[in-house]
Amino acid sequence: MSDIEIKNVIKLFTVLLLSEKEQHGYELMKKMEERTGKKISPGQIYPFLKQLKEHKYVDTEGREERDKLVYYLTPEGKRFVVRLSEKFGDLFEIAIKPKLTECAHCKCEIYKGGYKKKIGGRYLDFCCRNCANSYGKGNRH
């Protein structure tokens, strides 16, 4: 059987998100919306999940109603993800990485807001003013 072609970001994301953990189609949609900032419709997700299942890259658990099913990658599906990562390289890394910045001082993840401070000629991201002020002084909060 020939490999599934990944021709758009939604498909790439579907596979990537499943490689992170098993989940409902609904969860996949929500996460994709968060990461792409676009509205995702069930029609963009479920036919592809079905195709993945037919290829035995994905299997499901739970009741046979599509909203109740949990999708997960089979060992063959995991090998498919490895092939994809070889094919897409850097793009794959960028796509899979959640849009998070880390605090230059305490290394915590900054979800929203944060605090920028110009240090040594460039702007660094911090989670809070405290961290910005403590940066480079060795004490972590």
Phi then psi for residue 113, to 5 deg, are: 65, -105
Positive/negative CA dihedral, 13, 18, 21, 23: positive
Beta carbon nearer to Zn ion, 52 or 103: 103
Beta carbon nearer to Zn ion, 56 or 140: 140
What is the separation of C-alpha 54 from the centre of its chain, rounded to a whole number of angstroms?
A: 24
127 binds Zn ion (CB under 5 A): yes
Q: Compute the distance between CA of residue 127 and CA of residue 114 in angstroms, rounded to an integer.
A: 5
From residue 68 to residue 107, what is the string marking binding to Zn ion with x (rule CB under 5 A)?
Answer: -----------------------------------x-xx-
Q: Compute the distance between CA of residue 100 and CA of residue 109 in angstroms, rounded to an integer.
A: 6
Stretch that binds Zn ion, among 17-25, 26-34, 46-54, 131-139 (CB under 5 A): 131-139
124 binds Zn ion (CB under 5 A): no
Query: What are the residues binding Zn ion (CB under 5 A)?
Result: 103, 105-106, 127, 131
